[in-house]
Structure 1
């Protein structure tokens, strides 16, 4: 019974690949215009003549559906055949994406129908990883002598659940990348020394505002404006009062002078 853990691993891989190809088929044919959108994306990759785009697209969808069917058939060696077919199909997809990236073509990836991301390195790595996984599982399934006792229900449930979760992450790769990209763009940028110095340095307008008094209150507080303003009529009245006050003293001084002489 030492080989039983490998049985669960192969079951998880079969489930993962089956869900991935099923999502690809449904995304390309379900909904109005889904297949036409896939044909346009295939034409945008510039790998085929225009007259061959639609037949090749139909062949791709058919091949993906057949892979799903062979992976779930309860027939001896059907799993190995399905895994090998998946590996061949994924190898073709990987080669096509490599050509698109090598040419620098700005093409859209409609692998699962709904996503509309530009073909990038992550798609190449995704397909290459799935290809390696399918080849390894196919060779292991064909050569490993597994016992005929079957698998336990609990282990099968865990393996199927792991395969479904892994397939969901693969199918939603573009959405996950877009989500993280949007979140990182919304984060505030770190404040560098140059930005901080620019923020702390006073601008020309600020220096001008500090040099010019801002209000009449500032003008009154200025040293040149500490003394009250002169009033002409009040000054004349004050001078007249001072002159009148000085007249009696001059008269008394005149009277006292002769008497003393």
Structure 2
């Protein structure tokens, strides 16, 4: 029997892999998505973003974000090194949260563009989403501590795991839309 700690790790990895895959894809593939992300990146990253706007980092630093997210997806889905990928996901989410908190503190009205072109300005909803995703990474790391190693998972069990991870991943990806929908009017 596979212990619950193993399933906690597997589910955390699947949820985060789906979230980072969607995030990277929406920054790169839709028409105007990357330009929109670069613009918001410059303002969200504060002084670093303003400095890179006139230097070579203007293209390199924003391009590193979807590249890092794509690398995390590969690391989270690979059985070997998944603990490192979970820790890296936590650190990346912490960096994203620091950028969002800095924008809030400065009173910025830039949209996050974390999952494609957004309309709403940065708010506490994005910080709450990132906190939940960091908790997911922490749960995966905690699950790996109680796990004695990789175990083969049958195809039916893996399919159930993927289906179970899909709902929280979509909620995270469409968090801003849900926050707008559930916000009290006026």
Normalised to the residue count of structure 1, the TM-score between the two structures is: 0.63
How far, CA to CA, are the matches of 2:27 and 2:150 in structure 1? 38
How far, CA to CA, are the matches of 2:40 and 2:150 in structure 1? 46
Deviation at 1:84, TM superposition (A): 1.1
> Where does residue 159 of structure 1 map in the other structure?
161
Larger Rg: 1
> Where does residue 88 of structure 2 map in the other structure?
85
Deviation at 1:12, TM superposition (A): 1.3
Unpaired stretches in structure 1, ≥5 consecutive residues: 186-261
Q: Deviations over 1:186-225 (max 9, x none)?
A: xxxxxxxxxxxxxxxxxxxxxxxxxxxxxxxxxxxxxxxx
Unpaired stretches in structure 2, ≥5 consecutive residues: none
The list of structure 1 runs, each at least 4 consecutive aligned residues, that deviate by more than 4 angstroms after superposition, is none
Deviation at 1:105, TM superposition (A): 1.3
Distance change in 2, residues 1:174/1:88 (3 Å): same
Deviation at 1:139, TM superposition (A): 4.3
User: Do the aligned residues in 2 keep the contact of 1:97 with 1:124 (CA within 8 Å)?
Assistant: yes
How far, CA to CA, are the matches of 2:95 and 2:45 in structure 1? 15
Distance change in 2, residues 1:46/1:70 (3 Å): closer
Deviation at 1:64, TM superposition (A): 0.6
How far, CA to CA, are the matches of 1:87 and 1:21 in structure 2? 12
Secondary structure, aligned partner of 2:59: helix
Normalised to the residue count of structure 2, the TM-score between the two structures is: 0.86
CA RMSD of aligned residues (A): 2.2
